[in-house]
Amino acid sequence: MSNKRLIIRLSSLGDVILATSALSALPPPSQSEETHWVVAREYAGLIKGHPRLTKVWEFDRSKGGGILAWLSLCEKLWKEGFTEVLDLHSTLRSMMARIYFLSRAKMSKREIQWKTISKERWKLTGLFAAKRFWPESLRPTPLVVRFAKLAGGTGAERPDLRHLVNAARGIPPELKAWVSAQPEYLCVMPSSKWDGKKWNVRGFYEVLIKTGVPVIVLGDKSDRESVLLAKLLGQAQFPHFSSIGKLGFGELASILAGARAYFGNDTGLAHLAEAVGTGAITLFGPTIPEMGFGPWRPESRAVSLPMWCRPCGKDGRYCFRVKNRYACQSELKPTLVARELQGFLTRG
């Protein structure tokens, strides 16, 4: 009996990467097995060419990506004749798709199995409220485990995006030459989408100077912290390469795969590094790994301060301290971070 499966996970960068643990739990495409994935267009490059996927459907959320556009895509997806849907997002859009699919299935008397990921909101709410006093047994299950189990896996499956490394085509020649001359390097991401999750740039600079390992600075042109860090390293004549705004997903994956480590804030690039086989030293401020999206490779490290007010939210927007706001970031000293990074680099 053939099985035609659809995965729904539109965004965001880190969550799409973590959701690929579901692919690790699925069989490769064959005459009896197909797996399709619908994803936001800006993240499609992460999963295109994945050996466990038959087809990637892109949804443009920017221009004309409203309800009518989504329902139009749902109609196209319905006509594909899927027998199973894995909703790894559980958002308003995916709920609309479920209503659409199941109502059409009822009218046409076609069987379709729909599975939805649990967001474990009550566990997360309890963790936010009780913080370190919240029992470990009641803390959210890691997302990689939830995604894999929903796809029928054991929960031990992990993201594997090494196909991106093989597909990398656009690495700038000057970066290739730099890597050839500096084969031992770190990939550093000092920025983040959320201000509350950013450690200070001067701290990154001091740690890197102490460590002495050449650096590739990651980020987009809009990441001011990345631009500033590259400037500081340049002024100090420290060996580095600024890849800011120059790399696509394939090129990022390739550079991360060749690095000694990813070092940076809690961003999707930390998950990408782990998905291509590289350990991550990730700085956590308002968030904590126990929220469900912490590092999963054995050699990776989460660096933070054991403050009573953590975690305070998913992105650090709602720091409720009256005095010394965002102390989880400002009191994290370069000496501590440098010690953790050096310990990672010298591990046997």
Domain assignment present for residue 163? The answer is no
With H, G, I as helix, E, B as strand and everything else as coil, classify residue 30. Answer: coil
Handedness of CA 65, 66, 71, 72 (dihedral sign): negative
Average pLDDT over residues 276-299: 96
Give this prediction's pTM. Answer: 0.96
Q: How does pLDDT run across 22-51, given as a tens digit for each residue? A: 999 999 999 899 999 999 999 999 999 999
pLDDT of residue 151: 98
Beta strand 301-303 pairing with 186-189: unpaired
- Is pLDDT above 70 for 97? yes
In this structure, the answer to whether residues 96 and 214 fall within a common structural domain is: no
DSSP 10: -
Task: Decide: 43 and 16 in contact? Cβ < 8 Å.
Answer: yes
Domain count within the chain: 2
In this structure, the answer to whether residues 182 and 95 fall within a common structural domain is: no
Mean pLDDT lowest for which of 176-185, 309-318, 328-337? Answer: 309-318
pLDDT of residue 339: 96
At position 295, the amino acid (one-letter code) is: P
d(CA 68, CA 276): 37
- Is pLDDT above 90 for 205? yes
- Name the domain boundary from 118, 150, 182: 150
Distances (CA, A) of 210 to 127, 282, 305, 339: 36, 18, 21, 10
Could you give the angle at the alpha carbon of 22 between the alpha carbons of 21 and 25, nearest 5°? 95
Residue 133 tokens read as 């006093």
Farthest-apart Cα atoms in the chain, separation: 69
- Is pLDDT above 80 for 1? no
Residue 323 tokens read as 């005095």
Average pLDDT over residues 66-88: 96
In this structure, the answer to whether residues 139 and 243 fall within a common structural domain is: no
Question: In terms of Cα–Cα distance, which of 281, 256, 34, 296 is closest to 148?
Answer: 296
Reply yes or no: is the peptide bond before residue 239 cis, omega within 30 of 0.
no
pLDDT of residue 321: 87
Residue 282's pLDDT band (boundaries 50, 70, 90)? very high
Domain assignment present for residue 167? The answer is no
Domain assignment present for residue 183? The answer is yes
pLDDT of residue 23: 98
Q: How does pLDDT run across 206-249, given as a tens digit for each residue? A: 999 999 999 999 999 999 999 999 999 999 999 999 999 999 99
Range of the domain at 202: 172-345
pLDDT of residue 166: 79
Report the CATH number that the domain containing residue 105 is assigned in CATH. Answer: 3.40.50.2000
In this structure, the answer to whether residues 253 and 202 fall within a common structural domain is: yes
- Name the domain boundary from 115, 150, 185: 150
Angle between helix axes 224-235 and 201-211 (nearest 10 degrees) is: 40
Average pLDDT over residues 319-330: 90
pLDDT of residue 308: 92
Residue 297 tokens read as 């490779």
Query: How high is the mean pLDDT of the chain?
Result: 95
Residue 198 tokens read as 């950013």
Q: How does pLDDT run across 295-314, given as a tens digit for each residue? A: 999 999 999 999 999 999 88
- Is pLDDT above 70 for 135? yes
d(CA 161, CA 47): 8
- Is pLDDT above 70 for 81? yes
d(CA 286, CA 305): 10
